[in-house]
């Protein structure tokens, strides 16, 4: 990742280049990312390939002003953090669902080592989650605007809990970004994946709330958790929300695509 890409990424976040790779700088970048770069699966329904390679990730997130799902968002964020001097590892996760744990390489999160604050779990790609990185080695409650989080041992792995409910299980063994290609392919092609069944575009707002567009349903949530739901009508109205609410300029309204596996 060259300095031009780093500068473009930081401009997207509205951030200056940190003087040192500290924990405070990481927290600032993490929150800015969640506010600026939406969690979205539009590529799945626009027929765009999901490519886990440096040039593609930076072209989409840093200069293309798009978002993505976990592999893309945390993959791109890892490139930025590494370019700023952080020691970053890719960790594989499996999401806790109603039917148990998801597939291997179901989720990508990051273990980040700073020069002053030890190791933290950074995750800008899980939708509604912690606003700040979590302390990797802390086993007590960690208060956050997104809820009360706890990292607990699960055999050799770690479970990340939000408000007492398990969110995902992390392996502690570091992986490489190409290891996640099969998971990204499955989630973007399989009719069993929730990403192929619905559309989502979501980000944290400046006041700590959230704005989410699911298809044509616009949900705004304030910092206290109060929700306002509105059904959008004309295509122009939907495209205006993508543009003004998420900074994404589209030529057409995405719709859920019918697909068969593969």
Confidence at residue 260, expressed as pLDDT on a 0 to 100 scale: 53
Axis crossing angle, helix 3-13 with helix 23-36, rounded to the nearest 10: 70
pLDDT along the chain (262 residues), means of 10: 94 97 98 98 94 96 96 98 98 94 97 95 95 98 97 97 97 98 96 94 96 97 94 96 97 82 44
Alpha carbons 105 and 220: distance in angstroms, whole number: 31
Confidence at residue 127, expressed as pLDDT on a 0 to 100 scale: 87
Residue of 126, 161, 167, 168 whose CA lies nearest to 38: 126
Confidence at residue 262, expressed as pLDDT on a 0 to 100 scale: 43
Task: Tell the burial category of 250 from Cβ atoms under 10 Å away from its Cβ (0-12, 13-18, 19+).
Answer: middle
Q: Where are the alpha helices (DSSP H) in 52-193?
A: 54-58, 70-83, 181-189
Q: Where are the alpha helices (DSSP H) in the chain?
A: 3-13, 23-36, 42-46, 54-58, 70-83, 181-189, 194-197, 235-246
pTM: 0.96
Confidence at residue 259, expressed as pLDDT on a 0 to 100 scale: 56
Do 117 and 22 contact (CB within 8 A), yes or no?
yes
């Amino acid at each position: 990742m060259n300095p031009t890409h780093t500068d473009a990424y930081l401009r997207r976040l509205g951030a200056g280049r940190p003087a040192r790779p500290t924990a405070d700088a990481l927290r600032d970048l993490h929150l800015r990312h969640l506010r600026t770069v939406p969690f979205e699966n539009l590529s799945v329904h626009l027929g765009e390939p999901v490519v886990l390679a440096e040039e593609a990730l930076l072209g989409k997130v840093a200069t293309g002003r798009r978002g993505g799902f976990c592999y893309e968002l945390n993959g791109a964020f890892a490139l930025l953090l590494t370019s700023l001097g952080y020691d970053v590892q890719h960790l594989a996760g499996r999401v806790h669902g109603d039917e148990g744990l998801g597939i291997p390489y179901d989720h990508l999160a990051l273990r980040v080592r700073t020069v002053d604050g030890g190791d933290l779990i950074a995750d800008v790609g899980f939708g509604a989650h912690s606003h700040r990185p979590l302390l990797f080695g802390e086993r007590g409650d960690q208060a956050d605007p997104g809820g009360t989080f706890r990292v607990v041992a699960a055999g050799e792995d770690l479970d990340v809990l939000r408000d007492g409910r398990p969110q995902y299980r992390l392996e502690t063994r570091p992986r490489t970004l190409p290891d996640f290609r099969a998971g990204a392919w499955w989630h973007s092609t399989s009719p069993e994946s929730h990403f192929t069944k619905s559309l989502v575009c979501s980000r944290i707002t400046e006041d700590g709330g959230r704005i989410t567009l699911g298809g044509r349903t616009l949900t705004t949530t304030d910092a206290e958790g109060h929700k306002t739901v509105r059904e959008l009508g004309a295509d122009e109205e939907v495209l205006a929300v993508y543009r003004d609410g998420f900074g994404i300029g589209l030529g057409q309204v995405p719709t859920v695509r019918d697909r068969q596996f593969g």
